[in-house]
Amino acid sequence: MVIFWVVLYFAITTAIGFYMMRQKSSLAGFFVAKKELGALLIVPLLFSEIIAGAGTVGNAAQAFGFGISAVWVNWGMSIGCVLVLLTAAKFYRVIGNKFNSVSVPQVYAARFDAKTRIVMMITLVLVYAILFAMQPVAAGNILSPLLGVDKTMITWILGILFIVLCITGGMKGMAWMNALHTIVMYVGLGSVAYVAVKWAGGFSGLQAKLPATYFQMDQPDLLTMAGWVVGTALSFYAASVLIACIFGARDEKAYKLGFSYAAVLTFIFALFPALIGMVGKAMLPTAASGSILYTVANQLGPVFAVLASMGILAAILSTAPALLLLTSTMLSEDVYKLFRPNADEAERLKFSRISMAVLGIAATYFGMQAGSILAQMAGAFQIRAIAGLVLLVAIYWKRVDSRAAFWSILIGGLVAAGWHFGGNPYGVTSLWPSLAIGVPILVILTLMAPKPVSDGYEVYEECLAEAHAAGKI
């Protein structure tokens, strides 16, 4: 029964992707949906991309390990959505409309310079490779015991499937697929969470069966949790999916409503996998943490096993292809054009699809060598956090110039990456050493800037004036 519904869901998702493939006609259609996204498509696009395998399978595994505080990573995403909407959305919209931007590095080029664009491209390719790598691994953890097949084999199959879905759908295709995924995720995992808590005897039963620390919000320690929240929220200022939704929105009202509703949905949804993980610890303490979400659902009966499997796969299928899409956008628009400036749209689109395949295969391989899914996601966000902070500061501090931005992002990002891949020495998450070095560089070099208003900020002011004159904001 479970296998039938899983296969059917894969088939429906793939069919939607191939149908949308016939609807594309240009790079704008492929990367930013021809700027036709309404709120009803932005909500599922944001929500589904945010949650992913780490926000479901990884979240449940972490909750199994130390309790309810596992929700903080997903809550950091909600906070990031709101902060971007309140402080930076207008900036992205104005710059995007002026320069016909389709990628985050193009925004950094407009505010800073070409060198900063390149370092941002490298940073984001690394981040999205890490995030993508976790998706087939998370799905493999679920489908391997379900189908009774080797985990390595099923992970490779899923990685290739995600590549196919990305190549076929484009941004608008992703939005329509994610509308389906959002419904499936909410209904599936929400139902499982509700029944699972009842199985454990309600909240009182959970409290009786679990240590008190499982209900504290500062586990495993306050510094780590703060790093996850702050790093995730800051990283959203350089998050391609958020900025692509602003670029692709039909109008200002569409992205404001989309961001607001997505933040609320994410905040509530974060509780579902966390509660399931805690129930797993209470009722099945010797179970494997990596597959605890499905294990608990299976204990509740075949219907809930189907709901959990569909919800998990929806989360993963909504995210993995889009990560490749966003990465290929940067490789096509920020790298390929540098070497072939006269390449037409058809050539660049072909290159983007080839790059998706190569990157997807490489990331799948390295993902199978990684550790905790949720920890890898948090680490990826923290590598990007300094770049997000730099742009946020540069929106409001006119003096921030390209030199300050470049060196802060480069050195702060290298420190975060080195610290993360070094295993977070001394138990300190990578955000803090990254900010400890990157922020002083940003401040000192900005104060040393020769002009009180940087060239990049003058460009932004010109774009803002044009937008006001045209009645676009």
CATH ID of 2-371, from 3.30.43.10, 1.10.10.10, 1.20.1730.10, 3.40.1280.10: 1.20.1730.10
Residue 1: pLDDT over 70: no
CA pair distance 265, 59, nearest whole angstrom = 16
Domain boundaries of the chain, sorted by first residue = 2-371
3 state SS for 147-213: HCCCHHHHHHHHHHHHHHHHHHHHHHHHHHHHHHHHHHHHHHHHHHHHHHHHHCCHHHHHHHHCCHH
pLDDT at 273 over 50: yes
- Would the pLDDT of 14 be above 90? no
- Residue 396 pLDDT: 94
b (16+ CB within 10 A) / e for 114-126: ebbbbbbbbbbbb
Distance CA 372, CA 278 (A): 17
Q: What's the pLDDT band for 33 if we cut at 50, 70, 90?
A: very low
Average pLDDT value for residue range 396-411? 96
Q: In the prediction, which pLDDT does 398 show? A: 95
User: Whole-model pTM?
Assistant: 0.82
Mean pLDDT over 319-341 rounds to 72
Which runs of consecutive H residues, i.e. helices, occur in 25-113?
A: 27-32, 39-51, 59-66, 72-87, 89-99, 104-111
Q: Is the pLDDT of residue 25 over 50?
A: no
Find the Cα–Cα–Cα–Cα dihedral 142, 146, 151, 157, rounded to 10°. -90
How much is the pLDDT for 388? Answer: 94
Dihedral in degrees, nearest 10, Cα atoms 46, 330, 416, 389 = -60
Q: Does position 428 have pLDDT exceeding 50, yes or no?
A: yes
pLDDT digits (tens, 9 = 90+) for 181-227: 788 888 889 999 999 999 999 999 999 999 999 999 888 888 888 88
CB–CB of 246/32 below 8 Å? Answer: no
Does residue 435 or residue 333 have the better pLDDT? 435
pLDDT at 290: 78
Report the C-alpha gap between 241 and 255 in whole angstroms: 12
Residue 239, CA distances (Å) to 218, 384, 385 in order:
26, 8, 10
Query: What is the mean pLDDT of the segment spanning 233-249?
Result: 83
Q: What is the DSSP string of 275-331?
A: HHHHHHHHH-TTS-GGGHHHHHHHHH-HHHHHHHHHHHHHHHHHHHHHHHHHHHHHI
Q: Confirm if 186 and 265 have CB atoms less than 8 A apart.
A: yes
pLDDT of residue 30: 42
Strand-pair partners of 246? none
Res. 133: pLDDT tops 50? yes
